[in-house]
Structure 1
Amino acid sequence: MIISWKTRCGFLYKLLVYSVEKERVNMNYEKHNEEVRRLLQQAEEGKCERVMMELAMNPRMIISDPMLNPRRITFEEYLKNPQIMLEIQCQFQEYCAESLISDRIMGFENLQEITPYPDFQNVLEGACLGCEIAFHGCNEPGTKVCADETTKYELLKNTRPLTDPLGGIVSTLLSHYEFFKKKREEGYTYKGKPLGSPGMAGMGTDGPFTIACSLIGATQACMDLYVDQDYMMELLDYITEAVIARNKALRRCYGQPEKSKSFGFADDSIALLSLDTYTELILPFHKKMMRELCTGEEPGWIHLCGDASRFFPTLVRELNAGTFDTGFPIDHGRVVRELGPDITVKGGVHVETLRAGTAEEVANAVKTILEAVKPFTRKFIIKEANNLSPGTPPENLSAMHEAVRRYGYYK
């Protein structure tokens, strides 16, 4: 007898549900949550007794894992159908609450509500500026480069992102947002949990240079910084203006002030550049975003994956960055020594170690990192590096959390 893939996935899903049910019994949520509340109070007072653990993760944990997605719902279905997006996010938030431990309140029964949000992964900004979305089934989507050396000047003629920043894919995002609001008003529930106010998505940015790499390709973008600098400055200014226009328009739409007290953003592709090149050619656009989108009353945050720590001191000095969300590779001890005890650094165990390593390997990685940072700061937060991979065993996260509790206390 031939057993279909769908049937096998359904069987595996039942096995996983069984294992999750066992984990629910074995995990003492009450004890865990009591410790978390104590740590959060200590953190508020600036005297946390140990390093805290966070996790960054999103609904791809469900969609890209056959055991959790036996229907094999694709990202194209997820992005285009708000009902499917809602169902996946409800499942995701339940799975996180039950099985993926970190220093936050755990247990589905302790969730007051489910908070849906329009989730367009990392394709929103490229699509806003003309890139076609490339779907890859149950793996996360990307965007296709939309211009080459001969057509790149045409990009600058597309004024719609500047004059109609809520059009195109952003209008779809807002339609999803309104759908979630309506479902909440109608009393939609998931396993007895009501919906909260939808998350206000679409603000922030992946960064001007990273978006430029999406539009014309990373190789072309890097070359043009040197061989066609006039064009590249014009492109980066165009992108920056589009980012500012979209953020301001969405803030107005959501009833938020056009300028916040601080601003956080990413720009992963600057890892391709030297510090001198960044400072001369890219930093001015980062400064422009900050001037237009925040008052600077509070320190901002920056996410940078890759080998990017050489930029950190400049970002503290020039952009008032107070928090860095890091990826890999990174020397955590050196970074916290250089930045000092007043800057928050988030970083930790490589996502592939968490996905495919043993519990012992995970614990050893935690021990190495914490021993390197604890003597120099109390503002280090350990997490995955960076963004938890689908298929990560919950037991490896439990091993990580236990190691944090074993090695993370300050003397």
Structure 2
Amino acid sequence: NTKSPKRHVLAKSLTVSDIQRPPLKNEPIVPLSTRTMTVTELIKGEEIYLENLNILEEIFHYNLTHMAKDPLYKEEGYGPSIKMIFAGLTTIKSTSGELLRNLQTELQKRPDDPYVGHAFVSILAYFKVYTSYISGYDDRIAELKNLKQNERFNEFLTKLEASNQKRLNKRTLNDILIHPVKRMPQYFILLQRLIKHTPNDHADYENLVKAELSCRNMTEHFEEQSQHAASAKEVIRVMNSIHIGKKFAELKRSSPHRIFLFGDRVKASFSKGSGKSLRISSYIVHAFNDCVLFSTKSKMKIWADDVTLKYYFWIKDISKIEQTKENHIEMVCGTQAILISATTEKTLKEWLMYITTHQAKISEQSNQRRKLKPRISRTTSQKMEKCSDDISRASFLDIEQSSDVVMRMSSSGNDLKVPNLRKSSSANDLSSFNK
């Protein structure tokens, strides 16, 4: 509409390059490189991620912390739980903000080829803050679940979420708390893609590899930690379901490297030394990576739902294992002989595989520990003994000579004057003492 003078001026100021249009016929389309697209995706993703962290900080952390301090809610004691749920988020937010600034700076410096690796390497040390957050994520969610069971807290949180739906976009606190957990694997995938589309002689290639390796290690570390945590919980659950009598006091309920592998029902008999073997009985078996527990249903009412430990053996103590007859395994552990009757041939193979595999692992671990111990050769040991004897002999001679000097001085009537260092510490006294 050219009737309006303002619109007429605006229309004149526009150029063809300012207007988004489809390409003309026979006009070549220049596609964006995969590298450029990945960088764009990384920056865009970081902006969204930082916004989610801001939501956590500004909407939830701020308001819930102030609510816990409010006299109306203070007696409920929400403070420690809220502090635990949001612990480390401020540092993670600062790290994300710094990374985004670095990426944007690199993009301004080199619009066609930003150095993403350089932007990452400068803040890799701060990525350690993710360790505590991710390792404690399950505990945070469990704590939040416990808080929600409180009617007053749940009501406050529901109203808080409802009043901020423009920013939350139908999401809840639980939905946003997981973002820091997901971000590290995303970094790893994007950096992998960048390396794939970056030449080896590129100036940023080395930094990209360094950043990718760091993110890979952290991702694997988080996975291992989560697996260990889940495994530890499972071990505790299983061990707590077993009543362990006083005669098995040496068997600890938990061990840092213990993993629960499987449970089974088998028939077995046990014998000690040359004694007669006990009759074959049914047992509930709990197999771990370091020991095997044989239990029976508890007869006492207080342990009605649990089992009572009857026998156990350490896998490292197995000196002999063989298949004696159909679906039977015979083992020797120290002075104890064990005969296990498997239900099927498949179960038998699984048992043999389980024991031999973990025997090999335990043996390998013990060999590695043995290698790490410092070894002193026999010659070195002899030299050390000789050196020790020489030192002792020299010390004894010094004492003899000193005592001889003292005796001679005493016999000549010269009194030794030793200054009282507590009362006086003058240079003269010290020099006379040294003499």
Q: TM-score, normalised by structure 2?
A: 0.23
Greater share of helix: 2
**Structure number with larger C-alpha Rg:** 2
Which structure would you say has the larger RCO, counting Cα contacts within 8 Å and 6 or more residues apart?
1
Q: TM-score, normalised by structure 1?
A: 0.24
